[in-house]
Structure 1
Amino acid sequence: MGGQKGEDVYNQSASFWDSYIKGRPSIPDSFFSTIFAYHASHSASFSHAHEVGAGVGVHSPRLAARFANVLVSDIIESNIQIAKARLQSLGCYTFKASSLEDTIDLPPASMDLVFASTMMHFTDVDKAVRAVHHQLKPGGTFAAGLYGTYALHEPEAQRVWQKLVQAICNNIIQRYGLDNRAKTILANEAAGLDSVGLPEEYFHPAQRIDYNFPQPSTLKDMILPPQYGLHPVSRIGRRDEVVRGVWDKGWFSSLGIDGLKGMADTWPHDEGDGEIVELWEELTGVVGEGEVEGAWMVSLLLATKK
């Protein structure tokens, strides 16, 4: 399957998306409240929002609760068809099959807020940022979230879980033939949202917040298979406000082995891979029939268009 684009990893069936929605975090109200409060402090308009790279519009209803009109876009046409079936009866939505980079064709200054959920690492970041700037109104908000990985608080369980997540990442690389593209995607994801540079001529200084990181390097250590020798790149602006070490228990949960497997099902990998099977057996031996507490590691980027 060599040569496929990274986005094709999420060109999946409706049943996959059902599992994805069940296995991904239940985003606490505090996360969206932070975004909406930030936007309200810079703009009085809650007319038009755009969820980019939306998959099947997983978070679009949360935007529709505050914005009168929500555009749902994704690069995969079949995802947009599923989004239409899920959302058309629920609110005022429009739909567009497009990459974020190609939404440069939207009318200029037409959006109050652009929301990107766990997808910026798949983009050509500079082109994506230009497209966001193009479609935002002056004073509009770019809000990007990343919640791609879960960390366990029990040390031995975390040790095995980290190896398992690395093995799944490696399996996805091999399964989808992403050897060339994966280096950029994984390095950007491992940087949280620090890899998203926002030119000073486009945006006011950004806020960058990390939640629930046990150690600053935990995300990098979990998702970068060591054999690739990758290093995250930071593009934090010199005047950006950076906040680390924030804990939000809204992202915490206690999970047994079935819950952890449900979470892993949101990554389209080969469950029969020998290394992965062995690591599940090892983790099952550690967790047993009980539960372990953990939390999603979350990055949030907020910026206002000049």
Structure 2
Amino acid sequence: MAALNGDNAYNQDRDFWEKYLKGRPSIPQTFFEQIFNYHSDHGGRFDTAHEVGAGVGVHSPRLATRFDHVLVSDVISTNIEIARSRLQGPYSFKVSSLEDTIDLLPNSIDLVFASTMMHFTQVDEAVKAVYHQLKPGGTFAASLYGTYALHDVQAQGIWKKIVVRICEMIIEKFELSARAKMILQNEAAGLDCVGLSEELFSPALRYNLNFPTPDTMREMILPAQFGLPNISRISINDTVTNGWDKGWFSQHDIDGLKDIAAS
């Protein structure tokens, strides 16, 4: 039985990435504007942004609308090859894990953007690498989004069962290494698994948007029978806000749901 260790999860071909880009939620521009406004309000410059764990540069074009230059990095070399072929403009590329980007020049990056990837990292080492590369007044913005939730209660119950079964099948297909278990725990915890030392960072602003219940992510990604405990590294000084943002809402027919499931 093959081992699922996290490093091979996104070592995929163009067909995979086409399905990923088609089926994953489209992040509204208001989300990025909130990040850009925070960055500006805290004295941040708009010289260089760094999308880490970028895959094929999924969100780099959105960063390039405001920053003069965007560094695109990912641990998988083939992902960076695809990124080079699909991104034209003010980009540079680096094959590296987030932890290993500690080799970048210190105080060289204005904003580090990490989307749906922090659970794959050795979190404490990754946070140190972020701090190392950020300029004074720089911003670390991390996001994690799961699958869609459906408005209709009955439909959501069916959809949840489908997603849980997909996750179970993925887990059952592989032998779970200790690293894979860590990744699953981190992902189920959302970004609560990321602790930011207040010696290095300002207290975190944490937003939970459009979660039908607080345990939605955990229940759908990490079924209870696997018995892995929850993780929370939220500081008492962090600000936690729960809310709804209609910018994430969209309509899909059955074919759209199939695209989502395929991603």
Q: What TM-score does the superposition give when structure 1 sets the normalisation length?
A: 0.83
Task: Work out whether residues 173 and 182 of structure 1, in 8 Å CA contact, stay in contact via their aligned partners in 2.
Answer: no
Q: Whole-Å Cα distance in 2 between the matches of residues 231 and 254 of structure 1?
A: 34
Q: Whole-Å Cα distance in 1 between the matches of residues 98 and 176 of structure 2?
A: 20
Aligned to 2:193: 195
Q: Whole-Å Cα distance in 2 between the matches of residues 21 and 43 of structure 1?
A: 33
Aligned to 2:245: 248
3-state SS of 1:7 partner: coil
Report deviation, 1:176. Answer: 4.1
User: How high is the sequence identity, in percent, across the aligned residues?
Assistant: 63
3-state SS of 2:251 partner: strand
Task: Work out whether residues 111 and 140 of structure 1, in 8 Å CA contact, stay in contact via their aligned partners in 2.
Answer: yes
Tell me the matched-pair count.
Answer: 263
3-state SS of 2:160 partner: helix
Aligned to 2:38: 38
Q: Whole-Å Cα distance in 2 between the matches of residues 9 and 141 of structure 1?
A: 28
Q: Whole-Å Cα distance in 2 between the matches of residues 136 and 228 of structure 1?
A: 38
Aligned to 1:124: 122
Q: Whole-Å Cα distance in 2 between the matches of residues 230 and 4 of structure 1?
A: 16
Higher relative strand content: 1
Which 5+ residue runs of structure 1 have no aligned equivalent?
267-306
Aligned to 2:81: 81
Aligned to 1:259: 256
Q: Whole-Å Cα distance in 1 between the matches of residues 176 and 258 of structure 2?
A: 24
- Could you give the per-residue CA deviations for residues 194-243 of structure 1, whole angstroms, max 9, x where no partner exists? 11000111101110001001111111111111210223211011211110
Report deviation, 1:179. Answer: 4.5
Task: Work out whether residues 75 and 98 of structure 1, in 8 Å CA contact, stay in contact via their aligned partners in 2.
Answer: yes
The amino acid of 2:36's aligned partner reads F
Task: Work out whether residues 44 and 138 of structure 2, in 8 Å CA contact, stay in contact via their aligned partners in 1.
Answer: no
Report deviation, 1:153. Answer: 1.9
Select 2:161's aligned residue among 154, 160, 163: 163
Q: What TM-score does the superposition give when structure 2 sets the normalisation length?
A: 0.96
Report deviation, 1:258. Answer: 1.3
Task: Work out whether residues 173 and 179 of structure 1, in 8 Å CA contact, stay in contact via their aligned partners in 2.
Answer: no
Report deviation, 1:159. Answer: 1.5
- Could you give the per-residue CA deviations for residues 21-76 of structure 1, whole angstroms, max 9, x where no partner exists? 11111111110000000100112410010000000001000001100010000010
Q: Whole-Å Cα distance in 1 between the matches of residues 4 and 166 of structure 2?
A: 18
Aligned to 1:175: 173
Q: How does 1:42-81 map to 2 (within 5 A)?
A: 42-81=42-81
Q: How does 1:249-288 map to 2 (within 5 A)?
A: 249-266=246-263
Q: How does 1:202-221 map to 2 (within 5 A)?
A: 202-221=200-219
Large movers: runs of 4+ above 4 Å: none
Question: 2:151 matched to 1:153?
Answer: yes
Report deviation, 1:168. Answer: 1.3
Report deviation, 1:4. Answer: 4.2
Report deviation, 1:2. Answer: 2.9
Q: Whole-Å Cα distance in 1 between the matches of residues 134 and 204 of structure 2?
A: 15
The amino acid of 2:25's aligned partner reads P
Question: 2:13 matched to 1:16?
Answer: no
Task: Work out whether residues 194 and 235 of structure 1, in 8 Å CA contact, stay in contact via their aligned partners in 2.
Answer: yes
Report deviation, 1:105. Answer: 0.5
Q: Whole-Å Cα distance in 2 between the matches of residues 44 and 186 of structure 1?
A: 33
C-alpha distance 176-86 of structure 1, shift in aligned 2 (>3 A): farther
Report deviation, 1:120. Answer: 0.4
- Could you give the per-residue CA deviations for residues 2-31 of structure 1, whole angstroms, max 9, x where no partner exists? 334213111111111111111111111110
Q: Whole-Å Cα distance in 2 between the matches of residues 81 and 122 of structure 1?
A: 21
Task: Work out whether residues 30 and 250 of structure 1, in 8 Å CA contact, stay in contact via their aligned partners in 2.
Answer: yes
Aligned to 1:298: none
